[in-house]
Amino acid sequence: MKKNIFILSILLLIPLLLCAKEYDLTVANNAFQEQNYQKAEEEYMKVANEGVKNFELFYNLGNTYFKLNDLGNARLYYEKAAKFEPMNKELNENIAMLLASIKDKEDIQRSFVETILRKVYFAFSINLLGVFVLTFFILMMAFIVLLIMSRSAVLKRIVKIFLVILAVIFFLVTVTEVMRIRDFYTDDSAVILDETVIAYSGPSDDFPQVFTIHDGLKVSIERFDNDWVLIKLPSGNGGWVLTSTLGII
Amino acid sequence: MCFADNISVTSYVDKNTVSLNELLNLTVEIKSEEQIDAEPEIPQLTGFQIVGQSSSSSTSIEIINNEMTRSVTQSFTYSLRPLKTGSFTIPPIYTKFKNKTFRSKTINVTVVETNSNIQQTRKNTQKLDKNTSNTIQIFLQATPSKSEVFIGEPFTVKYILYSNKGLVGLNAEKMPEFAGFVKEETFQTKNITHTLEVISGIRYYAYHISDYTLFPTYANTFNLDKMELLCAYEVPAKSFFDFGTTKRVYIQSNTSTIKIKSIPVAGQPDNFSGAVGQFDIKSELSSSKVKTGESVTLTLTIAGSGNIRMFDPPTMPVIPNIDTFPPEESDDLYQPDNISGKKVIKYILIPEEPGTYNLPAISFTYFEPRSETYKTINTRSLSLNIERGKIVPGSLSYIRPHDIDIQGLDIHFIITKNIISDYVLIVKQAWFWIFIVLSLLSIVAALIIKKEREKLLQDKAYYRARISNKKLQKDLDEVQAALKNNDVSGFIVAAANALKNFIANKCNISAGASTIQDISSQFNKNKLPQIDVDKIIDFLKMTDSARFGGTKFSHEELEEKYNELNTILQNLSKTKFRKKR
């Protein structure tokens, strides 16, 4: 009886634990629909400034900035949204349209194998992968219990086979989940926000210029030095720019 | 003259002085004893152009002093046309035969301006002596219908050859090209036929040579190209022995000047497509009532005079829900000058949706040279009634699917989800880890259960000790039932069994075989407090004496005994026994 009460209380606790704070985007969404993009941006940013991380919020912000012709911020928020749903079709099509509008060419060539691996890697969201991890773990434990408790040799053999399969799946899912969470929390990419940004060979404008880039370009961050940051272009070229000229994804 | 192997080559001309409009005959004679296969090689002749060639051969036999001499003469005659005035030398003419070369002498010829016997211009004609019947008066008259036209405005040029003598041959040496114009030859003579015309009192044979209709393509002042003809006429015999001769003469047409003017750019309507002239427009539908998918023809006729072939048809306005195919165009020009006529444009319309449609008026703009203004004319608007018809795929009237008109591209719309929540990673949630820990604990539990089970199976004493409480409960239930029924003997038996079974299970000894002594020794082994031992022994003795001695108990006494039993059992359950293995 006591055991039953314990299980019941756990089950009742789950929805409470899952319940997160909610935010209303009605005003912002309506402003966008009325093509009042300036207001939509203000309203979306009110929520974003509260530190809310949400796919729909970032996607809509990206769209709003695109409509305001602020390609830097549009890209920044699209990339932020992509952290949640990297394979979202509409998001990727919007990014493709944005890439056609930015000044710097960003040609990402992927081999067939790379494309397939990427599709598999990003096939499920981080939370869905988390559910998979938990499910496979519970299943694995259940099979271990069955193995311990079983007295039939045949049943034990069958359970062992299933256990091996489950262990392999669990390992792959867990590795993917860990890597995805690591990617999610790593701030190693940024988007250029200023219309024209000059990069220098050192963390000061006294150093020689190395290249000029424009808003909307995605770069990777190498390291920081006071107000300056060393960025790396998709082509591999590196240069120092002012931190204020870019937005970290 | 050259002699070699009895072959001689002679060249001569019919006259040493020739006028520009006459022909010079150059004859080369090759004399030999036998018919030979040789032909003179005519060098480049300065100041002359070879316009004709003929050859003949004759054989003569002479008998002198009974000696017969045979000679063969081959004559090659070339008609030379003088190109300019001056003195020219016809170089020696070489003839090759059997690896030998024979040459003739050079000939000097003078070319003069005109022969006084041939008059070409109409002006000179008036000054001519009318009685000089041997003089040929010939001229080629080019007559344009207009002297000043606009670009695209057509006009005609007529070529008539006038001669006071009948012509026996006529050859076109050079026909006009008319650079800067699009030309259409509307007439060309096929036979030497003439009419009679009297000009300035002189009767002429008028030969209508050709007519052209010209469409100017750019603004300029042009001298029309000259036509050149080679005419042959007969000079009648002067005496009985004179058989008369045929003379040939070159004639050039007179010079005509045409001024081509540009069409004014100022005020030119947008739909002007280059039509110049005077036109009228009308439109008609093949049927005013059709079904969807069926075709209907809209015929547009532009009639009038002007450059009918040279302008584009007016654009058909877009009619919603009516598919318009590219128009079929045909021109029908009227003889003789091809200036008047009509342009017929047929538009195939296929209605896609039923309804009554007003086909808008089609406007057409042309430039009218007479008033030097642009004129825009319109067709009347037509009504077309369309009923829903059956669409049969594959039939001619079937409307094939056409490409979707893409007007532009935009980003996908926002996600209109009004209530959102902050992103929560489930791996950071407590319940996630609770489930993980619970799963792990299930393993521990399973191991414990397994160990317990194994122990129960292997250790009988342990098993009995584990089940002793359950068994006791069962026995006590029986005791209680007997108490309830006030069944003294049943109570005594049940109480004794309950106590003995409990002790037997606890000490892992046989319950049935255990005597008070056995039990007592077990208690001593387990070092139970003597007071407890005494109580148990006393109780057991009481049961024995009651069972076998027939002691009677009241209900209250039985309840007291029951309480006593409970106390004993409680004490015993707290005691740990050394189990007999």
- All residues of chain A having their beta carbon less than 8 Å from the beta carbon of residue B412 are 63, 90-91, 93-94
Instruction: Assess contact for A99 and A66: CB atoms under 8 A.
Output: no
Q: Torsion-angle region of residue B237: left (phi > 0), alpha (psi -120 to 50) or beta?
A: beta
A-contacting residues in B 20-79 (Cβ below 8 Å): none
Q: How confident is the model at residue B5 (pLDDT cuts 50, 70, 90)?
A: low
The reported pLDDT for the residue numbered A2 is: 56
Whether complex ipTM tops 0.95: no
Average pLDDT over residues A221-235: 90
Task: Tell me the residue range of the domain where A212 lies.
Answer: 189-248
Domain boundary among A185, A203, A219: A185
Most confident of A9-13, A34-38, B473-477, B552-556: A34-38
Q: Is the pLDDT of residue A123 over 80?
A: yes
Is A137 in the B-facing interface, judged by CB distances under 8 Å? yes
- Mean pLDDT, chain B, integer: 81
Query: Is residue B132 scored above 60 in pLDDT?
Result: no
Query: Does A17 contact B430 at a Cβ distance shorter than 8 Å?
Result: yes
Q: Does residue B156 sit in the same domain as residue B250?
A: yes
Phi, psi of A18 (to 5 degrees): -75, -25
**How many structural domains does chain A have?**
3
Residue B415 sits at the chain A interface (C-beta within 8 Å): yes
Considering the domain architecture, whether residues B203 and B295 belong to the same structural domain is answered as no
CB contact B255 to A (< 8 Å): no
CB distance B260 to B222 below 8 Å: yes
> What is the pLDDT confidence band of residue A79, given thresholds at 50, 70 and 90?
very high
Asked if residue B288 and residue B243 are part of one domain, the reply reads no
Q: Is residue B354 part of a domain?
A: yes
Judge whether residue B318 has pLDDT over 70. yes
Number of domains in chain B: 4
B206 and B331 part of one domain? no
DSSP sequence for A54-77:
-HHHHHHHHHHHHHTT-HHHHHHH
Angstrom distance (rounded) from CA B77 to CA A160: 121
* B526 to B472, B505, B564, B579: CA distances (angstroms): 20, 14, 22, 9
| B410 domain residue, yes or no | no
We report the CATH number of the domain holding residue A61 as: 1.25.40.10
When pLDDT is cut at 50, 70 and 90, the band that residue A14 belongs to is: low
> What are the pLDDT digits (tens) for B189-208?
777 778 888 877 788 889 88
Q: Which residue has the tokens 């005494």?
A: B534
Residue B444 resides in a domain:
no
pLDDT at position B398: 52
The closest alpha carbon to B256, from B219, B221, B296, belongs to B221
Report which of residues B343 and B1 the model is more confident about: B343
At B145, list the tokens. 């219908």
- Name the 3-class secondary structure at B193: coil
Q: Which residue is associated with the tokens 């695109």? A: A66
* Residue partners of B474: CB distance under 8 A and separation at least 6: none
| Residue B437 confidence (pLDDT) | 92
pLDDT of B94 reads: 87
Q: Are residues A60 and A34 in the same domain?
A: yes
Range scoring the smallest mean pLDDT among A3-7, A137-141, B372-376: A3-7
Give the C-alpha distances (Å, rounded to integers) separating A14 from B292, B424, B432: 64, 14, 9
Q: In what order do the strands lie in the sheet with B48-64?
A: B8-13, B24-32, B67-82, B48-64
Tokens standing for residue B38: 């040789």
Is the CB of B411 less than 8 angstroms away from the CB of A97? yes
Predicted confidence (pLDDT) at residue B391 exceeds the cutoff of 70: no
A10 interfaces chain B, CB cutoff of 8 Å:
yes
- Percent of chain B residues past pLDDT 70, beyond the cut: 89
Which among B416, B432, B446 has CB closest to A134?
B432
The pLDDT, as a whole number, for residue B124 is 42
Q: Say which residue, B270 or B335, is predicted with more confidence.
A: B270
Q: For residue B483, what are the CA distances in angstroms to B92, B471, B491?
A: 174, 19, 6
pLDDT per residue as tens digits for the range B60-99: 887 877 777 788 888 888 888 888 888 888 888 888 888 8
- Same domain, yes or no: A129 and A155: yes
Lowest mean pLDDT among B264-268, B466-470, B539-543: B466-470
pTM above 0.90, yes or no: no
Least confident piece of the model among A119-123, A143-147, B183-187, B511-515: B511-515
CA dihedral B207, B142, B186, B176 (to 10 degrees): 110
Q: HSE (CB half, 13 Å, CA atoms) of B481?
A: 10
Eight-state DSSP code of residue B316? P
**Residue B101, in any domain of the structure:** yes
Which contacts (CB < 8 Å, 24+ apart) does range A35-41 have? Answer: A35/A67, A37/A64, A37/A67, A37/A68, A38/A68, A40/A64, A41/A65, A41/A68
Beta carbons of A20 and B412 less than 8 Å apart:
no
Q: Same domain, yes or no, for B375 and B299?
A: yes
Instruction: Pick B420's closest partner by Cβ from A23, A64, A90.
Output: A23
Instruction: Average the pLDDT over B513-531 and give the result.
Output: 74
Cβ contacts from A onto B, under 8 A: 115
The reply to whether A213 falls in a domain is: yes
Instruction: Encode burial over B549-575: b for 16+ CB neighbours within 10 A, e otherwise.
Output: eeeebeeeebeebbeebeebbeebeee
